[in-house]
Structure 1
Amino acid sequence: MNDATFNDAMSEIMEIRERYARERSVFIEGDRMVEILKALGASAEDLEKIKLVSDDLPKDPTLPFRESKNGRFCFDFDNSRAYRLEFQPFALSAEEDFVRHDSGQTRIFEEIGNDLQLNSALQALLVFKSLIFRGLSTDRRPKLDYDSAEWICTLFNLRTISTPDLQGEPALEGVHSDGVDHTMTTFLGSRNMTADSAVTFLHAMEEKNGTRWNGTDPGLALGRCQHRHFLDTMIVVDHERKHSLSPVSAVDKRLPATRDMLIFFTRKPVMEGHISHPYDSLGAHAGLPMAVDLPLPLEEKILVAAGAPAAGGVER
């Protein structure tokens, strides 16, 4: 990757970031993401491999129509790197705008492996997200430590499956938030899925949690998008926009329909009293180590070149 290609990509990322800062959500088409990720180090081979990474997912711990894995990463801006965090259980509560039968439960997901975390396309997605949210001010969630320099990113690799006997729901919980600061969703692929499946709807925070996607108040609707093409990506300020999704439906009703996604939940570390406080270690993963360098945002690169200090992990 030459400097000109990288700088062109950084300029495009900053344009996306400016739109995100202004509108509080942004959708990036997959073909655009492919070129951005290539400039950030993704190889053509790994872009093909990541399309198939969901084929060996195990059963989800609580949802019968889903297969899943997860893993935790730290965005360490002070040291310009992202690294794999050690395994922790996962919990999400009704207090965080997530109302479902398993709200508040401690869930144990199988861990993502090197087939995903060492894929250069995945690493480029982590770099991309870091450049989008870094330094952006948002409404703050209670019991998160905004004085911390680190950010925790929980990555989910998910496959939603509809069969003749079971409806696959990308968001069974209806209208919700994800209990974080920034949510990014990236489409990997689908099989036998209808063109009107899995539409994402954005809602004002006043919308009632748990409301089905088709029962919401039109006056509180803020937009919609649909992940249909490889690497179609949405990013949303999670404590300023709620969202819901329509189900996955099959073209051929006799066969399964599948939808494969990567979901990046990013937030500050939690404080005492938060449901996830016992499960929020910043220790590196001993068995599955991974680290990737994080570049400075374009405007900081310009400042550093002129002799000014970098902003590090401090919000501006």
Structure 2
Amino acid sequence: MNDSTFNDAMSEITEIRAQYVRERSVFVEGARMVRLLKALGATDADLEKIKLVSDDLPQDPTLPFRKSRNGRFCFDFENSRAYRLEFQPFALSAEEDFVRHDSGQTRIFEEIGDDLQMNTALQALLRFKSLIFRGVTTAHRPKLDYDSPSWICTLFNLRTISTPELQGEPALEGVHSDGVDHTMTTFLGSENMTADSAVTFLHDMRERNATRWNQADPKLLVGQCRHRHFLDTLIVVDHERKHSLSPVEAVDKRLPATRDMLIFFTRKPVLAGHISHPYDSLKAHERLPMAVELPSPTQKRIRAGADVPVLEGAAR
């Protein structure tokens, strides 16, 4: 990677960030993301590999039409790095604008492995997101520690499946928020999915939680988009925009239809009294360590595929 390529990408990312700050959401088309991620260290080989990373996902703990894994990362801007955090259970509550049959439950997801976290395309996505949200002022969520220098990113790798017997719902919960500060959703691919499936609708915060996507007040609709192409990416200020999605529909109704996504939930660490307080460790993962360099907005170049050591203990 030469200085000119990296500098051009950083200039373009600065423009995307400005749109995010101005509009509180931004959709970046996949072809543009491919170019930017390559400038941030992604290799052509890993861009191809990440398309297939969802093929071996296990069954989701609570949703019969979904397969899933997750993993936790820390954005550590003080040391210019992101590192893998130890395993923790996951919880999301109605208090955080998430109303579903499993709201408030402690869920145990199987962990993502090195096939994803060591993929340079995934590492470039972490770098990209860090450049977009770093320093952006947003409405504060209750019981989050905005004095902490750290940010916690929970990454979900998800496959939603529709079959003749089962409707796949990317957002069974209807209108909701994700209980975080910044949500990023990246499309990996689909099979047998109709061209009008899985539309994302953005809603004003006054929209009622759990409202179906097709029953929401059109006066409170503030935008919509659809992930169609590899690496199509949406970033949303999660406590300022709610969202909902339409179902996954099959072209050939006799066969399964699938939709593969990466979802990056990023927030400040929680305070006492938050549902996730027992599950919010900042300790590095001992069995699956990973750390990567995070570029600063003024940096001239990063080393493609660069990693950095996980600091001893890695807790703050």
Indicate whether the TM-score tops 0.5. yes
Partner of 2:47: 47
Partner of 2:126: 126
Tell me by how many angstroms 1:297 deviates: 1.1
State the distance in 2 between where 1:88 and 1:99 align: 22
1:210-256 CA distance string (max 9 Å, x none) = 00000000110000000000000000000000000000000000000
Partner of 1:220: 220
Unaligned runs of 5+ in 1: 303-316
State the distance in 2 between where 1:100 and 1:289 align: 33
Moved segments of 4+, more than 6 Å: none
RMSD: 0.6
Tell me by how many angstroms 1:13 deviates: 0.3
Partner of 1:307: none
Tell me by how many angstroms 1:182 deviates: 0.1
Partner of 2:184: 184
Matches within 5 A, 1:116-155: 116-155=116-155
State the distance in 1 between where 2:19 and 2:275 align: 33
Matches within 5 A, 1:21-40: 21-40=21-40
Which amino acid counterpart does residue 48 of structure 2 have in structure 1? E
What is the DSSP-based 3-state SS (H/G/I as helix, E as strand, rest coil) of the residue aligned with 2:71?
A: strand
1:247 corresponds to 2:247: yes
Unaligned runs of 5+ in 2: 301-316
Tell me by how many angstroms 1:3 deviates: 1.1
What is the DSSP-based 3-state SS (H/G/I as helix, E as strand, rest coil) of the residue aligned with 1:108?
A: coil
What is the DSSP-based 3-state SS (H/G/I as helix, E as strand, rest coil) of the residue aligned with 1:54?
A: helix
1:67-96 CA distance string (max 9 Å, x none) = 000000000000000000000000000000
1:179-233 CA distance string (max 9 Å, x none) = 0000000000000000000000000000000000000001100000000000000
Partner of 2:231: 231
Which amino acid counterpart does residue 205 of structure 2 have in structure 1? M
Give the alignment's TM-score, normalised by structure 1: 0.94
State the distance in 2 between where 1:79 and 1:72 align: 18
Give the alignment's TM-score, normalised by structure 2: 0.94
What is the DSSP-based 3-state SS (H/G/I as helix, E as strand, rest coil) of the residue aligned with 1:190?
A: strand
Which amino acid counterpart does residue 233 of structure 2 have in structure 1? T
Which amino acid counterpart does residue 117 of structure 2 have in structure 1? Q
Q: Between Structure 1 and Structure 2, how many residues are aligned?
A: 300
* Percent identity (aligned): 83
Which amino acid counterpart does residue 4 of structure 1 have in structure 2? S
State the distance in 2 between where 1:170 and 1:296 align: 34
1:159 corresponds to 2:173: no
State the distance in 1 between where 2:297 and 2:81 align: 13
Tell me by how many angstroms 1:269 deviates: 0.1
State the distance in 1 between where 2:3 and 2:100 align: 47
Which amino acid counterpart does residue 252 of structure 1 have in structure 2? D
What is the DSSP-based 3-state SS (H/G/I as helix, E as strand, rest coil) of the residue aligned with 2:190?
A: strand
